[in-house]
């Protein structure tokens, strides 16, 4: 029997539902994080903006308090990039993701990575990072010791080969742009575990949050290669579909596929939002004609406006101590009434996340 073919709109509505973008969830932030697996956190405000678009009555303190209580961490995870995730998930998945970390090190230092003495760096780094330090301080520390590589390479090697987590601070977004790191064992009381079942569990969680998806999608999201064997272990739990081009997609057998005509509310997504980072082919949410406006150099994903479930513009916030401006740029004409819905969503964001601002402004324009 031929696999069911899914339309782009069916894939879109299914992704939005699993990413909690069809309706804000009343669940607690930790339950939402468990569902989403992790939130990309290259800049401190991104996970807060992502959660605001997904969780009813969200305030930054609801995430910040989890971080201060050691229940959530901001650390290097999928694709060797910063993520916010539950501490228990970090401890379970960090060791399994090490191949992605090693791949990133080889990519950044392709001409010299063989000169890097990882064991020496681990010994020096573990001793120094048993107490909180910034990466600048770690780099200076490496510069005081004879190494086979540059202090810059040694610092990146430590970032990718030591389980380091950021220390939260008393700031609106929970972290500064120059945070201190410490060994996970010092902050969480134990080190990441070696778990033979971790990758299969991670793949299952990925499909729950991003499926249906291909093996290549899973490899892209994790930053790993060779995930075919992991998916084979899950084969009894999976069902297969194809997309409009005939590409095979996998999903959990019990997972629901939504019809393409389900209404989708307008949403404001932050930089590097997870919904745009789960697939090689982003056409289920990002029209190809707008891809270059959203996907920039070195993989940067710009803030996005979703209209009828698809990216239709971008937005940015300019903030000073007492003045905040939210500016939206739409790529094309939008349906009647969208401007009013967009303006209401923008004002709600400013009121919820910037309550101290004395002057706020919303500007909507056509690109």
Burial (0-12, 13-18, 19+ Cβ within 10 Å), 57:
exposed
Element (H, E) at 16: helix 8-18
pLDDT tens across 269-312, in order? Answer: 999 999 999 999 999 999 999 999 999 987 789 999 999 999 99
Whether the bond into 212 is cis, omega within 30 of 0: yes
* Structural contact between residues 213 and 96, judged by C-beta atoms closer than 8 angstroms: no
Please give the average per-residue pLDDT across 11-29, as a whole number.
Answer: 98
pLDDT at residue 5 greater than cutoff 80: yes
For tokens 């190494």, name the residue.
147
Residues 6+ apart with CB under 8 A from 285: 12, 15, 16, 275, 276, 306, 309, 310, 311
> What pLDDT does residue 1 have?
55
* Structural contact between residues 150 and 102, judged by C-beta atoms closer than 8 angstroms: no
pLDDT tens across 241-253, in order? Answer: 999 999 999 999 9
pLDDT at residue 113 greater than cutoff 90: no
State the DSSP string of 225-274. S--HHHHHHTGGGEEEEE-TT--EEEEETTPPPPPTTS----EEE-TT-G
* Structural contact between residues 363 and 70, judged by C-beta atoms closer than 8 angstroms: no
> What pLDDT does residue 27 have?
98
The DSSP output letter for 26 is -
In degrees, to the nearest 5, what angle opens at C-alpha 203 toward C-alphas 200 and 206?
Answer: 155
> What pLDDT does residue 148 have?
85
For residue 136, name the pLDDT band (cuts at 50, 70, 90): very high
> What pLDDT does residue 321 have?
76
Mean of per-residue pLDDT scores for the chain: 95
pLDDT tens across 302-357, in order? Answer: 999 999 999 999 999 998 878 999 999 999 889 888 999 999 999 999 999 998 88
Q: Among 67, 81, 78, which Cα is nearest to 187's?
A: 67
pLDDT, greater one: 225 or 321 = 225
For tokens 């007492």, name the residue.
322
Element (H, E) at 144: none
Please give the average per-residue pLDDT across 171-180, as a whole number.
Answer: 92
State the DSSP string of 36-99. H--EE-SSTTHHHHHHHTTBTT--HHHHHHHHHTTSEEEEE-GGGSEEEEEHHHHHHHTTTTHH
pLDDT at residue 367 greater than cutoff 90: no
For residue 85, name the pLDDT band (cuts at 50, 70, 90): very high
For tokens 């609106």, name the residue.
172
Element (H, E) at 307: strand 304-307
Please give the average per-residue pLDDT across 177-187, as a whole number.
Answer: 96
> What pLDDT does residue 114 have?
79
Please give the average per-residue pLDDT across 181-210, as a whole number.
Answer: 96
* Structural contact between residues 293 and 300, judged by C-beta atoms closer than 8 angstroms: no
Collapse the DSSP code of 183 into the 3-class scheme (helix H, G, I; strand E, B; otherwise coil) and give the result: strand
Which token pair is 162? Answer: 């030591």
Q: Among 179, 128, 125, which Cα is nearest to 155's?
A: 125
> What pLDDT does residue 302 have?
97
* Structural contact between residues 365 and 61, judged by C-beta atoms closer than 8 angstroms: no
> What pLDDT does residue 141 have?
96
For residue 3, name the pLDDT band (cuts at 50, 70, 90): confident
> What pLDDT does residue 356 have?
85
Residues 6+ apart with CB under 8 A from 183: 126, 129, 130, 162, 163, 164, 165, 191
> What pLDDT does residue 366 have?
83
pLDDT at residue 2 greater than cutoff 70: no
pLDDT tens across 32-69, in order? Answer: 999 999 999 999 999 999 999 999 999 999 999 999 99
Question: What is the rounded CA–CA span in Å between residue 208 and residue 254?
Answer: 10
* Structural contact between residues 20 and 35, judged by C-beta atoms closer than 8 angstroms: yes
Q: Strands 310-319 and 304-307: what pairing?
A: antiparallel
């Amino acid at each position: 029997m031929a696999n069911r073919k899914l339309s782009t709109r069916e894939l879109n509505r299914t992704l939005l539902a699993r990413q909690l973008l069809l309706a804000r969830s009343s669940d607690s932030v930790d339950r939402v994080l468990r569902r989403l697996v992790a939130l990309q956190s290259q800049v401190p405000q991104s996970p807060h903006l992502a959660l605001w678009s997904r969780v009813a009555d969200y305030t930054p303190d609801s995430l910040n308090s989890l971080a201060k209580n050691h229940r959530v961490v901001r650390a290097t995870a999928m694709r060797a990039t910063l993520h916010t995730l539950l501490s228990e998930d970090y401890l379970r998945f960090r060791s399994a993701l090490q191949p992605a970390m090693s791949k990133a090190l080889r990519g950044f230092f392709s001409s010299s990575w063989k000169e890097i003495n990882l064991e020496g760096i681990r010994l020096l780094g573990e001793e120094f990072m048993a107490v909180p330090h910034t990466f600048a301080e770690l780099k200076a520390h490496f510069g005081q010791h004879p190494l086979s590589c540059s202090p810059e390479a040694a610092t990146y090697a430590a970032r990718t080969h030591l389980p380091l987590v950021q220390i939260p601070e008393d700031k609106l977004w929970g972290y500064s742009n120059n945070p201190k790191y410490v060994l996970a064992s010092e902050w969480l009381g134990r080190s990441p575990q070696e778990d033979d079942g971790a990758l299969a569990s991670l793949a299952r969680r990925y499909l729950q949050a991003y499926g249906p998806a291909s093996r290549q999608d899973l490899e892209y999201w994790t930053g790993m290669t060779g995930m075919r064997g992991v998916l084979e272990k899950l084969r009894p739990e999976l069902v297969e579909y194809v997309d409009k081009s005939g590409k095979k997609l996998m999903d959990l057998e019990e997972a629901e596929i939504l019809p393409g005509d389900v209404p989708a509310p307008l949403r404001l997504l932050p930089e590097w939002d997870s919904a745009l980072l789960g697939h090689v082919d982003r056409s289920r949410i990002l029209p190809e004609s707008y891809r270059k406006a959203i996907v920039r150099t070195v993989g940067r994903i710009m803030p996005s406006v979703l209209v009828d479930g698809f990216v239709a513009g971008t937005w940015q916030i300019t903030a000073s101590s007492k003045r905040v401006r939210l500016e939206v740029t739409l790529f094309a004409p939008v349906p009647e009434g969208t401007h009013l819905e967009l303006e209401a969503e923008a004002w709600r964001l400013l009121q919820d996340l910037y309550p101290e601002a004395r002057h706020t402004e919303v500007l909507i324009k056509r690109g």
